[in-house]
Amino acid sequence: MPTFKLDGKDIPFEPGDSIIKAAARSGVEIPHYCWHAGLSAPANCRMCLVELKPAANQRAMMLDIVEWDPVLKDYKNVQKPKLQPACQYPATEGQEVLADSSKHVLDARASVQEFLLLNHPVDCPICDQAGECKLQDYWLEYQARDHTGKRMRDEPIHKPKAVVFGPTIVYDAERCVMCTRCIRFMEEVAKDPVLDMRERGNLNEIFVAPGRQLEGHYTFMTEHVCPVGALTTKDFRFKARVWFLKSVSSVCQGCATGCNAHLDYDPRSNKAYRYRPRDNEAVNKYWMCDEGMLSYRAAHEGRVIEARVGRTRLGVDAAIKEAKKRLGDVPKEAIAVVLSAQHSLEDNWAMRELAKQLGSSTLYAAGAGAGYADDILIDADKNPNTAGVKELAPNARTYLQLLEDMRSGRISHVIALGGVTPRNDPEDATALGMLGTLVVIASHEGALTDAAHVVLPATSWAEHTGTYANRQSLRQVADRALIPQGASRPAWELTKLLATALGLEVPFTRLKDIRAGLLGSSTAAPSTRDVAAITTGAT
């Protein structure tokens, strides 16, 4: 691979890379506002300026400038090299680039900072971006370095604040650094060029096309790409301070795409607060959809957190006793087992082992129904693990076939993983009501938990580490963030308890055993925990 030198360090690059992109891939950040690895590079913020050393047979391009001389107490004429934007300048073999090691570059960064902050309000204490704001970070690194404060003494320009751009996003023009990332995201990725810039100079502001609002399936990403607190989501603003939040690597459960995400939560209250996209070129690049961004709420909404028999809440042990009472005398092979594309591979593997021990002739698979799809990210399959279930039980019958088999009396006793079903029809409830026994182990409420005789509370994806196979059959690991809520326990653990109560011996006691079984059964790619996701660290 060809390389160039950045502050003396060799940086490999791919043909077509800009200096900043190649550096980011090597884990070296060149300060920037307008550049984003997933968007075009307008080079309008000038924060990424670098000095290019001329080759032996070239002269450096120099600029005449005036510089304040504190001894002379006057300006004097000097020269400085013409700096170049690293976000636009292509990486070339053998090029020597100076960034942190160049005084001219450090001066330029401090000047850009001073310029951006001339009219910026000092409302960091009430800004949602505080703690993860590029303006704050770079001020500390480059402007505070020489204790260069703002020299302008005039009243700052005031611009519109708290402008509602649409159902999800609010805009603060005074905080905006005019990087145009939001405009470019809507045009280049969401394919809906609804944002633009108006006016000139310090009167610049972002606006929504007349007669439109910022809406659709990708509005949250405008907030995510905004490097400062100019765009905030109605969902997150004023809800939490980011320094109190912790984060785990997660996988969105909203559809079969399996977008990689950071799940941010407050460990003090055991509460999930938001999703942020986690870069993965192979799956979601740098993005997530709005529905996915809001799906962190499922960590708390619609959860099953207590065991129950009918409508009566009980302890897990008592509920398992009831399941044993109901299923104990039923011929084992007559008990049907339902897997769930809403649950992890681990949970489904454990349930499939239970089915094997029962000698069930047929497996069924359920999950959420189909929905909206596009050719950007969103898949019509609203389950995170359909490919995983298919891999474990390629011939599993569908939920509709399960209903048919119930109506025809072919099955009368069922153990199901997951409460969610593709549809929630009153007629289906009648069929489910005909069952002799329905035991459901689930993290979320649905038609199956509604009809169940016994419900056992399973932890959700946010409360355990689990593996999910997305539409590419790529196994991806979502890490645990929250402490299990209520009496919930991992579904595989409940499956083991139920199996033992029914006098069955399933071949696992610990998660380790299941993971080993899963590795053995895999025809798909190993998880992204094993194969590092390709990231460029673009934020």
Structure tokens at 531: 């194969």
User: Cα separation of 511 and 409, whole Å?
Assistant: 36
User: Cα separation of 398 and 387, whole Å?
Assistant: 14
- Sign for the CA dihedral angle at 222, 223, 227, 228 comes to positive
Q: Is 47 in the site for ligand FES (CB under 6 A)?
A: yes
- Sign for the CA dihedral angle at 486, 490, 496, 502 comes to positive
Q: E strands of 104-226, at which residues?
A: 163-164, 169-171, 195-198, 205-208
**Residue 255 binding: pick among ligand SF4, ligand FES, none (C-beta 5-8 Å cut-off by kind):** ligand SF4
User: Cα separation of 309 and 306, whole Å?
Assistant: 10
**x/- string (CB under 6 A) for ligand SF4, residues 196-215?**
----------x---------
According to DSSP, the β-strands at 231-233 and 3-6 are unpaired
User: Cα separation of 363 and 390, whole Å?
Assistant: 11
**Residue 378 binding: pick among ligand SF4, ligand FES, none (C-beta 5-8 Å cut-off by kind):** ligand SF4
Continuous H helices in 32-178:
103-116, 134-138
User: Cα separation of 523 and 525, whole Å?
Assistant: 7
Per CB under 6 A, the list member of 21, 32, 352, 444 interacting with ligand FES is 32
User: Cα separation of 537 and 30, whole Å?
Assistant: 12
Closest approach of ligand FES to the CB of residue 168, in Å: 26
| DSSP SS3 for 77 | strand
Question: Which amino acid would we find at residue 220?
Answer: F
**Residue 414 binding: pick among ligand SF4, ligand FES, none (C-beta 5-8 Å cut-off by kind):** none
Total residues binding ligand FES (CB under 6 A): 12
**Residue 97 binding: pick among ligand SF4, ligand FES, none (C-beta 5-8 Å cut-off by kind):** none
Q: Please report where in the chains the tokens 């109605």 appear, as a residue.
A: 234
**x/- string (CB under 6 A) for ligand SF4, residues 234-273?**
------------------x-xx-xxx--------------
Q: Is 43 in the site for ligand FES (CB under 6 A)?
A: yes
**Residue 402 binding: pick among ligand FES, ligand SF4, none (C-beta 5-8 Å cut-off by kind):** none
Per CB under 6 A, the list member of 4, 22, 50, 85 interacting with ligand FES is 85
Residues 100-159 close enough to bind ligand FES by CB under 6 A: none
Residues 355-394 close enough to bind ligand SF4 by CB under 6 A: 377-379
**Residue 320 binding: pick among ligand SF4, ligand FES, none (C-beta 5-8 Å cut-off by kind):** none
Q: Is 112 in the site for ligand SF4 (CB under 6 A)?
A: no
Q: Is 289 in the site for ligand SF4 (CB under 6 A)?
A: yes
Residue closer to ligand FES by CB (options 44, 472) is: 44
> If residue 416 lies in a helix (H) or strand (E), which one and from where to where?
strand 413-417
Site residues for ligand SF4 per CB under 6 A: 176-182, 206, 225-226, 228, 230-231, 252, 254-255, 257-259, 284, 288-289, 291-292, 377-379
Site residues for ligand FES per CB under 6 A: 32-35, 43-48, 85, 87
